[in-house]
Amino acid sequence: MNNPKVFLTAMLLLCLIFGAMVLFLPAASSSTVTGTVISQTLTQSLDGHRRYLSVSLTDGGTALVTAPATSNCPQGSSISLIKEKGIFGSQSHYRFDSCRPNSN
């Protein structure tokens, strides 16, 4: 490319196309869902503790989420999760929000 006008025009065109794609992409959506803790697992590694919760969702599905190691979510607790749907594809991801242990 010995002609800088062609290079700059191509670069400007690519930047405009990229800007239009970013502008018109749908935003990632999120909602709150609830469920019940089926089981919990606390693991220890070199960089600290991790807590994994197996959750039965109100819509009939199940999810495995990570929770803070300090959270108290025994089996049967009511849990609130944030359901995030990505920009590409239809797969949902769940993130820990809060946990309310049952007071039996």
**Cα separation of 74 and 71, whole Å?**
9
Say whether pTM exceeds 0.75.
no
* Domains with residue ranges and CATH for the chain: 29-100 (2.40.50.140)
Tens of pLDDT, residue by residue over 35-83, are 999 998 988 888 888 899 999 998 888 999 999 888 888 899 999 999 8
**What pLDDT score does 82 carry?**
92
Predicted local confidence at residue 101, as pLDDT: 81
Q: What is the identity of the amino acid at 50?
A: R
